[in-house]
Chain A
């Protein structure tokens, strides 16, 4: 019994150390880039928080995730978003009565984030919706609605502070 208790206590310490490190990194982010959105990928609580200036803007539930090697709190960097549909080169610059062709609202719908967009981070992490293939790359799966929202929020260079899950045998 004593052994179990002391073991849990040691695990708690690592969890708390990771949260403290995440807060240090978040505070640094808020001070150095106050105008940027950022993510907190909280694996122990299975949530991703979209934040800015310390304020929570959105909380997304993690539906599933593949094994991710990081064992300590770590900063990922958003690289780009790949959408399933991009503008056909042949349709560029077609206009009808001064407006983009074929429809007024298509430009946003075509170029904006989609439910099946993939969000790529460096090094080696993808956030995606269920059913979207990303090969062997470590990935986190969110709902399509959350993917579209995060795709709209993130710009290349934005950081994602990753808080890992602590295994019982660590």
Chain B
């Protein structure tokens, strides 16, 4: 009886050892495929349907939908310039911020309330009151603006020949057609990935 158990144990041991060296079974492969599909689904829940990708190194803007690029455009991004206020009381650096942002507002016919640096840059006397007429500009930003927070926006341009260059004060400029497409395609809350 004792030897029977020993033989049985050895037989089982040999059987399982043999099984462990067998090639993958169909069921293993199917299980792995099911795991992968489930993980991909979980990953999709974190991803967004429509989003913008901005490559500041090459001044390219892409609109993606369901992980497919549906539009690519030439844009203009921050120059990297540093501007000092006379007397060095203020300092501005005109970089497009890298990282992940969200579209906070969509605006048609945006009015640009010129900040202080716009006056300093042109050597003009800055206005004192924020609602002064000289501060308000109805043409520079184009037909639409998508606000990304901290004063950064995707907007139009009066100088389409300068697209493709590092020329802006940090905002992202597009030509009229691309801007209209972006405005129509993206919703408030959609992500903007800037690198």
Contacts and interface: CB of A to CB of B under 8 A. Distances in A.
A112 interface: yes
Interface residues on B, range: 35 or more
Given A35-B99, A57-B53, A95 B191 contact: no
A10 B23 contact: yes
Task: Summarize B's interface: helix, strand, loop or mixed.
Answer: mixed
Interface string A8-26: 0110110011011001101
Interface in A43-98: 50, 52-58, 95, 98
Given A100-B82, A104-B81, A13 B100 contact: no
B166 interface: yes
A127 B84 CA distance: 38
B193 A55 contact: yes
Interface string B39-80: 110111011100101011110000010010000000000111
B118 interface: no
A48 to B, nearest CB: 14
A3 to B, nearest CB: 9
Contacts of A52: 100, 193
A34 interface: yes
A99 B83 contact: yes
Interface of B: 22-24, 26, 28-29, 32-33, 35-36, 39-40, 42-44, 46-48, 51, 53, 55-58, 64, 67, 78-84, 86, 95, 98-100, 166, 191, 193, 195
Interface of A: 6-7, 9-10, 12-13, 16-17, 19-20, 23-24, 26-27, 30-31, 34-35, 37, 50, 52-58, 95, 98-100, 104-105, 107-108, 111-113, 145, 148-149, 151-153
Given A13-B24, A55-B193, A98-B83, 19 more contacts: A7-B23, A13-B28, A17-B32, A23-B36, A23-B39, A23-B43, A27-B42, A27-B46, A50-B195, A52-B100, A53-B47, A55-B47, A55-B48, A55-B67, A56-B64, A56-B67, A57-B193, A98-B84, A113-B57
